[in-house]
């Protein structure tokens, strides 16, 4: 396993990285977990519940036993289970807080049964629902982390409200799961290649890159990008594609990661490709330096997301390269 020295953040993988590999004929969850272990991509193992666990949020007891058994067999360590609050689960209206709590509570109990010490929820899980979940999290000993993913930053009102809540409650059972996508220095080449393959004119991609590089929060740039792209003749579907460039790739200063602490439950090590031992689109030395300075010793899940744009690379190989990159930076003196 590619783990780090004691006292440093630990490494692991989320099975989301292997989305394309999961589709291979003959590959099931057990086979995939065993391959992760055989390739030494642990010790941490994260998975997305609705992606990997048939019958979620109420899986059969036999599946729970199978998952726990293969983790024991392989020596992989459950790190985090990504769960969801589907507010639009019922057509025509959003779930009220009581319904949201019930929907998450059953998933929290499922995570505990599987042996996961933490769950990931989205920012749609606001302060009121999280406060209600706290006693159950304490009872089950499962930490609840809100993922902060681009285009959210610490300055976004929903995130600021969560920061205030965590500070006020002063508990280790609620916190953040920051994602490296919040702090990117360049748009990945895989995204630009995907634009080209989709027939988006280079001038439109160049426009989106210029808008992305301009100062200001991503949310404030959507209207400007739409207006300028339409003036260049972009179709509505192409404009939607261009706006994804703003949505997925944040510009928050890596130094701001210090402000997530001490309320960090888990970390998503988002990346879109490691080339020649470095990540061209995310400043890993800068972000990992903050994690070291804050004495974070939890898991970083390697989260390869270029599979959304290309099948050119092996996700297994990319995760191995990512973990080696993280290890070399973290252990450098």
Which tens digit of pLDDT belongs to each residue from 26-57?
Answer: 899 999 999 999 999 999 999 999 999 999 99
CA–CA distance, 126 with 85 (Å, rounded to integer)? 10
Average pLDDT, the chain: 95
The residues, any chain, with a CB within 8 Å of residue 329's CB and separated by 6 or more, are 284, 285, 288
pLDDT confidence of residue 54? 96
User: Binning pLDDT at 50, 70 and 90, where does residue 324 land?
Assistant: very high
pLDDT of residue 2: 74
DSSP 96: P
Catalytic, 195? Answer no
Question: What letter does residue 331 receive in the DSSP assignment?
Answer: T
Q: What backbone phi and psi angles, to 5 degrees, belong to 304? A: -80, 120
What would the DSSP string read from start to end of 99-128?
A: HHHHHHHHHHHHHHHHT-SEEEE-TTS-HH
In the predicted model, is pLDDT for residue 178 greater than 90? yes
Between the alpha carbon of residue 102 and those of residues 132, 216, 294, the distances in Å are 10, 38, 35
333 pLDDT band, cuts 50/70/90, is low
User: Radius of gyration of the chain from Cα atoms?
Assistant: 20
Q: Are 322 and 271 in contact (CB under 8 A)?
A: yes
Domain boundaries, the chain: 10-185+251-330, 189-245
Euclidean distance between CA atoms 153 and 254, whole angstroms: 11
Task: Assess whether pLDDT exceeds 90 at residue 110.
Answer: yes
As a whole number of angstroms, the distance between CA 150 and CA 178 comes to 10
Q: Note whether 136 and 160 are within 8 A (CB).
A: no
Cβ proximity of 300 and 326 under 8 Å: yes
Q: How far apart are CA 280 and CA 273, in angstroms?
A: 8
Mean pLDDT for the stretch of residues 157-179: 97
Position 311 scores a pLDDT of 87
Element (H, E) at 48: strand 44-48
Residue 68 sits at the vertex; the CA angle it makes with 62 and 74, to the nearest 5 degrees, is 130
The residues, ordered by sequence, that sit 6+ positions from 180 with a Cβ below 8 Å of its Cβ are 267, 268, 269, 270, 271, 282, 284, 287, 303
Range from 149-153, 163-167, 280-284, 298-302 carrying the lowest mean pLDDT: 149-153
Which residue among 149, 249, 263, 266 is the active-site one? 149
Rounded average pLDDT over 78-105:
95
Look at residue 35 and give its three-state secondary structure. helix
pLDDT at site 222:
92
> Is residue 91 classed exposed, middle or buried when 0-12, 13-18 and 19+ CB atoms within 10 A define those classes?
exposed
Q: Does domain 10-185+251-330 have CATH number 3.40.50.720?
A: no
- For residue 312, pLDDT over 90 is answered with no
Average pLDDT of the residues in 106-126: 97
pTM for this entry: 0.96
Query: How does residue 87 score in pLDDT terms, banded at 50, 70 and 90?
Result: very high
Average pLDDT over residues 164-193: 96
Residue 256, pLDDT above cutoff 80: yes
Determine the Cα–Cα distance for residues 18 and 265; give it in Å rounded to an integer: 23
pLDDT over 90 (residue 3): no
CB atoms within 10 A of CB 327: 17
Confidence label for 1 from pLDDT (cuts 50, 70 and 90):
confident
State residue 265 phi and psi, 5-degree precision: -95, -35
Q: Cα separation of 226 and 114, whole Å?
A: 45
Q: For residue 265, which of 125, 128, 151 has the smallest C-alpha distance?
A: 125
Distance separating alpha carbons of residues 4 and 138, to the nearest angstrom? 29
pLDDT digits (tens, 9 = 90+) for 193-246: 999 999 999 999 999 999 999 998 888 899 999 999 999 999 999 999 999 999
């Amino acid at each position: 396993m590619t783990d780090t020295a004691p006292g440093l953040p630990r490494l692991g993988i989320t099975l989301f990285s292997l989305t394309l590999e999961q589709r291979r004929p003959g590959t099931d969850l057990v086979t995939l977990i065993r391959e992760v272990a055989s390739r030494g991509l642990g010790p941490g193992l994260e998975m997305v519940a609705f992606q990997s666990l048939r019958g979620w949020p109420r899986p059969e007891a036999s599946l729970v036993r199978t998952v726990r058994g293969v983790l024991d067999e392989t020596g992989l360590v459950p790190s985090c289970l990504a769960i969801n609050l589907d507010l639009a689960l019922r057509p025509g209206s959003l779930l009220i807080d009581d319904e949201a709590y019930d929907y998450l509570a059953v998933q929290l109990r499922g995570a505990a049964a599987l042996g996961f010490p933490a769950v990931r929820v989205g920012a749609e899980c606001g302060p009121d629902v999280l406060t209600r979940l706290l006693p159950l999290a304490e009872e089950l000993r499962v930490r609840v982390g809100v993922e902060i993913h681009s285009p959210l930053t610490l300055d976004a009102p929903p995130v600021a409200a969560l920061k205030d809540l965590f500070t006020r409650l002063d508990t280790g059972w609620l916190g953040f799961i920051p994602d490296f996508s919040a702090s990117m220095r360049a748009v990945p080449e895989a995204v630009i290649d995907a634009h080209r393959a989709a027939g988006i004119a280079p001038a439109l991609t160049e426009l989106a890159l210029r808008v992305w590089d301009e100062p200001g929060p991503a949310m404030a740039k959507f209207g400007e990008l739409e207006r300028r792209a339409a003036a260049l003749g972009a179709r509505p579907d192409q404009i939607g594609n261009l706006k994804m460039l703003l949505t997925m790739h944040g510009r928050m200063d890596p130094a701001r990661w210090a402000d997530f602490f001490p309320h960090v439950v888990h970390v998503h090590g988002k990346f879109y490709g490691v080339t020649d031992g470095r990540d061209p689109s995310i400043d890993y030395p800068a972000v990992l330096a903050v994690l070291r300075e804050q004495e974070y010793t939890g898991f970083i899940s390697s989260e390869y997301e270029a599979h959304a744009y290309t099948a050119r690379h092996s996700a297994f190989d990319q995760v191995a390269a990512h973990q080696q990159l993280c290890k070399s930076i973290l252990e450098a003196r």
